[in-house]
């Protein structure tokens, strides 16, 4: 039986609380009366008490009399009482007084609105399951403190992990336009599993609207400083127009341009003031590198899938990262299961390799209209290459071809890794020049080494903290036989490390699963990982940071 229904004599607890509220309605210090758990040092000691909320809590009868207040008895109609100091209460309002001076002087206390939260369990299905934290309560048996929300927010599954920040299932009102590239514009084909569209759309919308400035800061404060008005002057509205030419394809989380122009306009009661600037802004949010590993390549039954991630923040990044692994079935892509990764010590990881040798069907001898695709790799250029029959003894699989590279820059798109190894015949040409690009489209410090391969071929190793693309120069007429992408942990200094786990039994359907590492700033909720990257010129897709099999 709940406290609401419990009776002492003929009165319920709510009846007693209501009557006490009426009785002390004119009391200058008692501002409200309710009922609930009686708390001592953060622990509920009685779930059936009448609670008096006071502006100021004092102990002595003399002090209470001085406040012209009534003494709260230890019991009312058989129910124990509790006294809680709440200070001055004021009605909350969604109305906002127009700011005066630079930023306004009004502070709403209490704040308007709720605290956003989401559950990581299997229900509600799909990318939903975010909403408002309703309040706090106590377990009547154990007295343990609990949080309260609705079933449509946290679902119905017991022992589900509940977290902040949230991942929204919608775009939160951000403007959406079809991604296009080139002149005339060509539509960008983006491949994202249907079940993962929600978190990707969230990351895309927030990252684009926040990171479009190319800066860690809100563009309003510097503009307000540059357009001062007297403290008594009312500011009716502010407007910022941002112009940022896209540096290549701008998928989710990618900084659009290192140079951003914006125009600020303050509409005040006495004047219209403007401020404009165009300045290079450093990327202070987007990660320099991130990587994700599992402790095995395949799992059966209820074996634990141990996830281990590493993060290298932007050079000027200061926010604490919140890491979330999104797991999804690769074959269907119609669902995802999130898992929080928590800080951990650095682990020793096994190198993960993905490779191809020879370009398979539909490659044919002759002109190659790029991109040339092999597995998760793509070789692209604005110019054409040439597919040629491999020489005898090449070791390539039957019915595959070698690609003779065009002049100019060649873009090689690879599965995310830290090393890319080219099996290439330089055909008497100069040493290969390469620049590694990370998922944020930033060039990283790159090392290039060369070793002898089969016959006249060379094995050119390109290394960086994170590589999703390599830009090759000085490679005209060189012949590409194959490529290997390796993912390891190369830095001598430990990056930020995170770990989590999930049972293989929870991963249904069985088959190959992928995992993508989504990272947000803990304080602001801003996405700092780029989870969608170019996979060819005019094409994009979700990064699978790691894959594994479940049987």
Residue predicted with more confidence, 18 or 432: 432
Residue 2 tokens, joined? 């709940």
pLDDT of residue 158: 73
pLDDT of residue 449: 97
DSSP strand pairing (79-85 vs 43-54): parallel
Question: What's 222's DSSP letter?
Answer: H
Whether the Cβ atoms of residue 36 and residue 3 lie closer than 8 Å to each other: yes
Residue predicted with more confidence, 282 or 334: 334
Quick count: other Cβ atoms within 10 Å of Cβ 185? 10
- For residue 453, the number of C-alpha atoms closer than 13 Å in the C-beta half-sphere is 21
**How far is the C-alpha of 415 from the C-alpha of 422, rounded, in Å?**
14
Q: How many residues does the chain have?
A: 551
Does 201 map to a domain?
no
Using alpha carbons, select from 415, 429, 278, 292 the residue that is nearest to residue 347.
292
As for how many domains the chain has, the answer is: 4
pLDDT of residue 259: 57
Does 133 map to a domain?
yes
Same domain, 376 and 461: yes
406-438 confidence digits (pLDDT tens): 999 999 999 999 999 999 999 999 999 999 999
Domain boundary among 487, 511, 530: 487
476-523 confidence digits (pLDDT tens): 999 999 999 999 999 999 999 999 999 999 999 999 999 999 988 776
pLDDT of residue 241: 73
**Is the predicted pLDDT of residue 252 greater than 50, yes or no?**
no
Same domain, 34 and 55: yes
* Mean pLDDT calculated for residue range 10-14: 81
Using alpha carbons, select from 546, 116, 123, 117 the residue that is nearest to residue 337.
123
Residue 469 tokens, joined? 């693309």
Say whether 407 sits in a helix, a strand or coil: coil
Same domain, 342 and 361: no
CATH code, domain with 542: 2.60.40.1930
Same domain, 520 and 497: yes
Alpha-carbon distances, residue 490 vs 72, 215, 419, 464, 528 (angstroms):
67, 29, 9, 8, 21
Same domain, 55 and 68: yes
Does 28 map to a domain?
yes
Domain boundary among 125, 147, 163: 163
Burial of 324 (0-12, 13-18, 19+ CB in 10 A): buried
Q: What is the 3-state secondary structure (H, E, C) of 273-309?
A: EEEEEEEECCCCCCCCEEEEEECCCEECCCCEEEEEE
* Mean pLDDT calculated for residue range 332-356: 93
Whether the Cβ atoms of residue 414 and residue 483 lie closer than 8 Å to each other: yes
Domain boundary among 108, 137, 163: 163
**Is the predicted pLDDT of residue 226 greater than 80, yes or no?**
no
Same domain, 451 and 523: no
pLDDT of residue 263: 76
pLDDT of residue 309: 97
Cα dihedral sign, 289-220-248-409: negative
pLDDT of residue 444: 94
Which of 10-14, 118-122, 346-350 is least confident? 118-122
pLDDT of residue 292: 97
44: confidence class by pLDDT, cuts 50, 70, 90: confident
Does 269 map to a domain?
no
Residue predicted with more confidence, 226 or 326: 326
Quick one: CA torsion of 125, 547, 447, 490, rounded to 10 degrees? 90
Same domain, 334 and 344: yes
Residue predicted with more confidence, 20 or 205: 20
Which of 153-167, 315-329, 383-397, 535-549 is least confident? 153-167
Same domain, 450 and 371: yes
Same domain, 344 and 391: no
CA 52 to the chain's CA centroid: 43
**How far is the C-alpha of 438 from the C-alpha of 500, rounded, in Å?**
24
pLDDT of residue 214: 46
Same domain, 430 and 458: yes
How much is the mean pLDDT over the chain? Answer: 80
* Mean pLDDT calculated for residue range 354-359: 97
Residue 184: cis peptide before it, omega within 30 degrees of 0? yes
286: confidence class by pLDDT, cuts 50, 70, 90: confident
372: confidence class by pLDDT, cuts 50, 70, 90: very high
Residue 204's H or E segment, with its range, is: helix 197-211
Quick count: other Cβ atoms within 10 Å of Cβ 318? 11
**Containing structural domain, residue 497:** 289-350+491-550
Residue 422 tokens, joined? 């080219």
203: confidence class by pLDDT, cuts 50, 70, 90: low
pTM of the model: 0.67
**Is the predicted pLDDT of residue 463 greater than 60, yes or no?**
yes
pLDDT of residue 93: 43
Which residue bears the tokens 């509920």? Answer: 44
Quick one: CA torsion of 391, 395, 397, 401, rounded to 10 degrees? -30
* Mean pLDDT calculated for residue range 294-316: 94
User: φ and ψ at 151, to 5 degrees?
Assistant: -65, -35
Quick count: other Cβ atoms within 10 Å of Cβ 221? 11
Does 411 map to a domain?
yes
Which residue bears the tokens 């390469």? Answer: 434
Does 107 map to a domain?
no
Does 228 map to a domain?
no
**How far is the C-alpha of 462 from the C-alpha of 443, rounded, in Å?**
13
Same domain, 440 and 317: no
118-176 confidence digits (pLDDT tens): 666 554 433 344 577 777 677 767 767 777 787 777 777 776 666 654 443 333 333 34
pLDDT of residue 113: 40
**Is the predicted pLDDT of residue 297 greater than 80, yes or no?**
yes
CATH code, domain with 393: 2.60.120
Residue 440 tokens, joined? 């944020």
- For residue 150, the number of C-alpha atoms closer than 13 Å in the C-beta half-sphere is 7
Does 432 map to a domain?
yes
Whether the Cβ atoms of residue 412 and residue 469 lie closer than 8 Å to each other: yes
62-113 confidence digits (pLDDT tens): 999 999 999 999 999 989 999 999 887 765 443 434 333 343 344 444 433 4
* Longest Cα–Cα distance in the chain: 104
* Mean pLDDT calculated for residue range 206-222: 52
Burial of 287 (0-12, 13-18, 19+ CB in 10 A): buried
Alpha-carbon distances, residue 394 vs 96, 310, 428, 429 (angstroms):
73, 38, 18, 20
Quick count: other Cβ atoms within 10 Å of Cβ 424? 25
Same domain, 483 and 374: yes
**How far is the C-alpha of 399 from the C-alpha of 470, rounded, in Å?**
27
Residue 459 tokens, joined? 């094995």
Say whether 45 sits in a helix, a strand or coil: strand
* Mean pLDDT calculated for residue range 244-255: 47
**Is the predicted pLDDT of residue 188 greater than 90, yes or no?**
no
Say whether 525 sits in a helix, a strand or coil: coil
**How far is the C-alpha of 416 from the C-alpha of 547, rounded, in Å?**
11
């Amino acid at each position: 039986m709940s406290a609401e229904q419990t009776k002492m004599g003929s009165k319920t607890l709510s009846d007693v609380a209501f009557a006490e509220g009426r009785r002390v309605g004119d009391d200058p210090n008692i501002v409200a009366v309710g009922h609930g758990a009686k708390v001592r040092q953060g622990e509920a000691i009685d779930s059936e008490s009448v609670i008096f909320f006071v502006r100021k809590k004092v102990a002595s009868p003399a002090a209470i009399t001085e406040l012209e207040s009534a003494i709260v008895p230890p019991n009312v109609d058989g129910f124990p009482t509790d006294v809680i100091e709440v200070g001055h209460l004021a009605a909350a309002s969604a109305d906002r007084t127009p700011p005066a001076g630079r930023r306004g002087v009004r502070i709403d206390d209490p704040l308007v609105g709720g605290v956003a939260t989401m559950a990581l369990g299997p229900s509600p299905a799909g990318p939903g399951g975010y909403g408002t934290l309703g309040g706090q309560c106590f377990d009547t048996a154990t007295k343990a403190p609990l949080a309260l929300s609705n079933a449509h927010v946290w679902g119905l599954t017991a022992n589900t992990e509940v977290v902040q920040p949230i991942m929204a299932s919608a775009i939160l009102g951000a403007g959406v336009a079809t991604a296009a590239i080139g002149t005339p514009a060509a539509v960008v084909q983006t491949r994202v599993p249907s079940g993962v569209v929600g978190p990707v759309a969230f990351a895309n919308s927030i990252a684009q609207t926040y990171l479009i400035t190319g800066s860690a800061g809100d563009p309003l404060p510097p503009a307000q400083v540059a357009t001062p008005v007297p403290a008594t002057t009312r500011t009716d509205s502010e407007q910022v127009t941002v112009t940022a030419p896209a540096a290549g394809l701008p998928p989710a989380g990618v900084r659009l341009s290192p140079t951003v122009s914006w125009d600020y306009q303050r509409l005040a009661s006495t004047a219209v003031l403007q401020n404009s600037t165009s300045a290079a802004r450093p990327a202070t949010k987007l990660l320099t590198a991130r990587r994700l590993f599992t402790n095995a390549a395949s799992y059966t039954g209820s074996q634990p899938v141990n996830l281990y991630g590493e993060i290298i923040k932007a050079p000027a990044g200061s926010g604490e990262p919140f890491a979330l692994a999104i797991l999804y079935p690769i074959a269907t892509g119609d669902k995802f299961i999130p898992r929080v990764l928590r800080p951990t010590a650095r682990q020793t990881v096994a190198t993960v390799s993905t490779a191809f040798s020879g370009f398979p069907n539909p490659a044919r001898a002759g002109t190659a209209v790029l991109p040339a695709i092999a597995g998760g790799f793509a070789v692209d250029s604005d110019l054409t290459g040439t597919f040629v029959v491999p020489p005898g003894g090449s070791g390539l699989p039957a019915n595959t071809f070698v690609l003779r590279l065009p002049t100019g820059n060649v873009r090689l798109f690879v599965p995310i890794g830290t090393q890319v190894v080219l099996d290439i015949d330089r055909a008497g040409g100069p040493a290969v020049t390469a620049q590694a690009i990370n998922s944020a489209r930033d060039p990283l410090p790159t090392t290039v080494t060369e070793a002898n391969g089969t016959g006249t071929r060379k094995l050119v190793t390109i290394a960086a903290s994170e590589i999703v693309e390599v830009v090759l120069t000085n490679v005209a007429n060189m012949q590409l036989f194959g490529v290997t992408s390796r993912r390891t942990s190369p830095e001598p200094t430990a990056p930020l490390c995170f770990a989590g786990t999930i049972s293989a039994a929870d991963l249904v359907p069985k088959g190959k699963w992928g995992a993508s590492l989504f990272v947000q700033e803990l304080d602001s909720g801003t996405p700092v990982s780029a989870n969608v990257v170019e996979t060819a010129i005019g094409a994009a897709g979700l990064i699978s940071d790691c894959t594994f099999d479940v049987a």
